[in-house]
Amino acid sequence: MEYLSTRGEDSNIRFNGALLSGLARDGGLYLPKSWPKFTSSEIAAMRGLDYYQIAGEIISKFTEGDLTLDEVTQLAKESYKNFTHPDVAPLTALEDGLYTLELFHGPTIAFKDYAMQFLARAFERALAKTGRHSVILGATSGDTGSAALQAFQNLDSVDIFILFPSGRVSPIQQKQMTSLAGLGAHAVSVTGDFDICQDIVKACFNDHQFRDTVNLSAINSINWARLVPQIVYYFTSALKLGAPEQKVAFSVPTGNFGNIFAGWAAGQMGLPIEKLIVASNRNDILTRFFENGRMTRETVQQSLSPSMDIQVSSNFERLLFEVLGRDAYLCAEKMNAFATTGNFDISIDQLETAKKRFVAYRVDDVQTKSEIKSLYDKHGIIFDPHSAVGLHAAASARDDKIVPTDIPIISLACAHPAKFPDAVEKAIGIRPDLPGHLRDLMDRKETKTEIDGTVEATQKLIYGNAR
């Protein structure tokens, strides 16, 4: 398996190279040169396997040449052994044709654990083979940071720095990051919004002297190896509903476009996906794009679903590359235009290509609170605001007849409701409790670094603190 960059200048990279580089040196994102495929019989043969075994089957398709099926399966077994549900990613029926996929049974009770636990083990293995030390730099709108710091702390071969926007993550999300005091783990509060944090990360990667000096690497979903483990739960959930004979649709709370792109990748591999529903909050850059084919950056607005308070969806470049017929020159041209003007557009035909698989909805705070209350009244289940956005979009897609009634919709529940107790309390008057292993979280000592939202401040911090 070899990888290429969406901007064309970086290619013939194997899995470990993409893993340790994160972002291609030309500023693009890595993708497989060709998509591995499963036949219907191969997909059907996965029924009855444990989650980690299915993970081995899927992830190993992307690691050929660097990790064998047995090696990947063992890494997956270690990654998910401490998840709190025996199914790892259980599927719950809400009503006829509507299901939720619970992705909050990992150590930091959010979907990022499913990739991050695997990624940390893959990193450690790859670095051990080369005897190298790496500095990981990431940005978070909430959940990536805690999942990454938890997974990568105390690794001899890694120092990790996670930038988060000051005052723009939930108190529990912040505490999950700042209460981790493991060796080499740094939670960094940055003046500005998430997009500023993300821009700093990209600028540091594009500064090749700095990048090479500290051996910089990434764990955000710009890293292809972060997305690959997320493909797995699309397969496991669809298999439970009868795939490959039964088509399914997915509704995905979407900010940075990584999770839903993993769903698109599952479709490329042969999973019968009828539609991918992009569920956005008031920061609706993606919804607007799928409506008119124009990507236009606006000001980030704070919402009840802060992990989706994003106006630059970094992973969208991967879909753009595919929609443009894998024309790397044209992809680079559009991304450079977006970086300088905050705009780019695609043709009507290209938009129609994207809309064959995707449909997008925006859900505001009033609708989010209403959805949390309605779901609680109807089913007795408390959902976090991001999951509620996904479920509201799923209902809209059904009402609009975008998804036929004979095709089940799986809506991704991406975080435990206790991560966002203020939003839940506003909706139903109940403050959800944290799971047992996090019950004392808010009493734990907090350690963080505060810096200005600049590349210079970030690089100075890393130079002064990396081992």
H/E stretch holding 73 reads helix 69-80
Please count the other Cβ atoms lying within 10 Å of the Cβ belonging to residue 268.
16
- What gap in Å lies between CA 156 and CA 134, rounded to an integer? 10
Please count the other Cβ atoms lying within 10 Å of the Cβ belonging to residue 406.
9
Secondary structure (3-state) at 58: helix
User: Do the beta carbons of residue 336 and residue 28 sit within 8 Å?
Assistant: no
Greatest alpha-carbon span in the chain: 58
Using alpha carbons only, how large is the chain's radius of gyration in Å? 20
Angle at CA of residue 332, ends 221 and 290, nearest 5°? 65
User: Do the beta carbons of residue 410 and residue 248 sit within 8 Å?
Assistant: yes
Please count the other Cβ atoms lying within 10 Å of the Cβ belonging to residue 293.
19
Q: What is the DSSP letter of 87?
A: T
The amino acid occupying position 119 is L
Residues whose CB falls within 8 Å of the CB of residue 226, separated by 6 or more in sequence, listed in order = 115, 116, 119, 219, 220, 258
What one-character-per-residue DSSP string does 342-404 give? SEEE--HHHHHHHHTTEEEEE--HHHHHHHHHHHHHHHS----HHHHHHHHHHHHHHHTTSS-
Q: Which of 212, 217, 209, 162 is nearest to 185 (CA)?
A: 162
Question: Whole-angstrom distance between the N-terminal and C-terminal Cα of the chain?
Answer: 33
In the set 33, 37, 81, 112, the catalytic residue is 112
Phi and psi torsions of 213, nearest 5°: -65, -45
175 counts as catalytic: no
Q: Which residue has the tokens 């060709």?
A: 34
By annotation, the residues acting in catalysis are 112
